């Protein structure tokens, strides 16, 4: 049964991670069952001087970094699309694109429409705590014909998780296009370090409080297999940024595809590979 507002308030201040985790796992299983998705991603620098290398196993090709100009961004998108072999091409932080549009003295919508015309399919991330106007900017992504890959949190500045997650919920009520929310911060604040307990609780509360976003996501490359596996048992259902390089140098069991599937199964769940468009890979 859904938890009440009073119960949620109690959970936010609770140190009983077992109870919180069980509730979050129940909520996750009601929505997704044992199905757990993951995507293999090839990162490509936005720097025009860098080579574009796309491993055959990549299901998403992600342009990372901040483009110096609109012209450079469009040129890079075209080059990556040409090399992607049909894989979804995603790229950039929406916060960086807000700033780029301001520097180029164009509207964000115009910039996004030009990127869509160049072949970009999804904006890679929208950091809610860096966006000038989250609702308006995400709406512009949708209007421009693009999709948003994930809502993220750039830096953890406040311990008020209830307020953050209520803000995320309200944002989704307005835009209704967010498919995945990654609640763990992308940049660690050294003055306010987190612990494994904090991270696990944050994942669990995200699943309990943010009820209108389908997937709670963890970045495999950023947070590693140990935390990711625990996160899957307390509410997370999607793993981002699995390596697309099928490196067998340390044996088949240590290859990225085998490792991710093994970790998901060890959590008692069923691995399903997806592409950057959030569609399952047919086997």
- Domain limits, the chain: 5-271
Tens-place pLDDT, residues 48-80: 999 999 999 999 999 999 999 999 999 999 999
Tens-place pLDDT, residues 246-269: 765 655 566 788 999 999 999 999
Confidence of residue 190 (pLDDT cuts 50, 70, 90): low
Residue 220 has pLDDT above 80, yes or no: yes
Dist CA 273 CA 283 (whole Å): 9
Give the contacts of 120 (CB within 8 A, at least 6 positions apart).
63, 77, 81, 89, 90, 91, 146
Average pLDDT on 8-31 reads: 89
Integer CA distances (angstroms), 199 to 51, 206, 220, 245, in order = 35, 11, 14, 28
Q: Give helix 196-209 / helix 220-232 axis angle, nearest 10°.
A: 70
Cross-strand partners of 217: 238
Confidence of residue 148 (pLDDT cuts 50, 70, 90): very high
Residue 255 has what pLDDT?
Answer: 77
Dist CA 19 CA 35 (whole Å): 22
Third-level CATH fold of 5-271: TIM Barrel (3.20.20)
* Between residues 250 and 146, the one the model is more confident about: 146
């Amino acid at each position: 049964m859904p938890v009440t507002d009073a119960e949620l308030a109690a959970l936010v201040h609770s140190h009983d991670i077992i109870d919180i985790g069980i509730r979050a796992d129940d909520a996750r299983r009601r929505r997704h069952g044992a199905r757990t998705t993951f995507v293999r991603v090839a990162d490509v620098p936005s720097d025009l001087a860098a080579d574009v290398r796309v491993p055959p196993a990549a299901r998403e090709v992600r342009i990372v970094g901040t483009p110096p100009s609109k012209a450079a961004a469009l040129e890079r998108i075209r080059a990556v699309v040409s090399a992607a072999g049909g894989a979804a091409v995603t790229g950039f932080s929406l916060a960086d694109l807000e700033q780029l549009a301001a520097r180029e003295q164009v509207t964000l919508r115009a910039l996004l429409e030009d990127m869509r015309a160049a072949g970009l399919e999804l904006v890679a991330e929208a950091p809610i705590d860096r966006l000038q106007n989250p609702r308006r900017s995400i709406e512009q992504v949708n209007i421009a014909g693009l999709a948003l890959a994930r809502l993220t949190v750039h830096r953890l500045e406040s311990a008020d998780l209830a307020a953050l997650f209520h803000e995320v919920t309200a944002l989704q009520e307005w835009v209704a296009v967010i498919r995945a929310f990654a609640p763990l911060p992308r940049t660690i604040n050294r003055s306010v370090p987190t612990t494994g307990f904090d991270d696990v609780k944050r994942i669990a509360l995200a699943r309990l409080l943010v009820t209108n976003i389908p997937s709670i996501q963890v970045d495999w490359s950023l947070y590693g297999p140990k935390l990711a596996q625990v996160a899957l048992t307390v509410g997370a259902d999607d793993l981002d940024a699995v390596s697309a390089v099928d490196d067998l140098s340390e044996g088949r069991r240590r290859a990225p595809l085998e490792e991710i599937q093994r970790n998901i199964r060890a959590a008692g769940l069923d691995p399903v590979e997806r592409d950057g468009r959030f569609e399952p890979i047919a086997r």
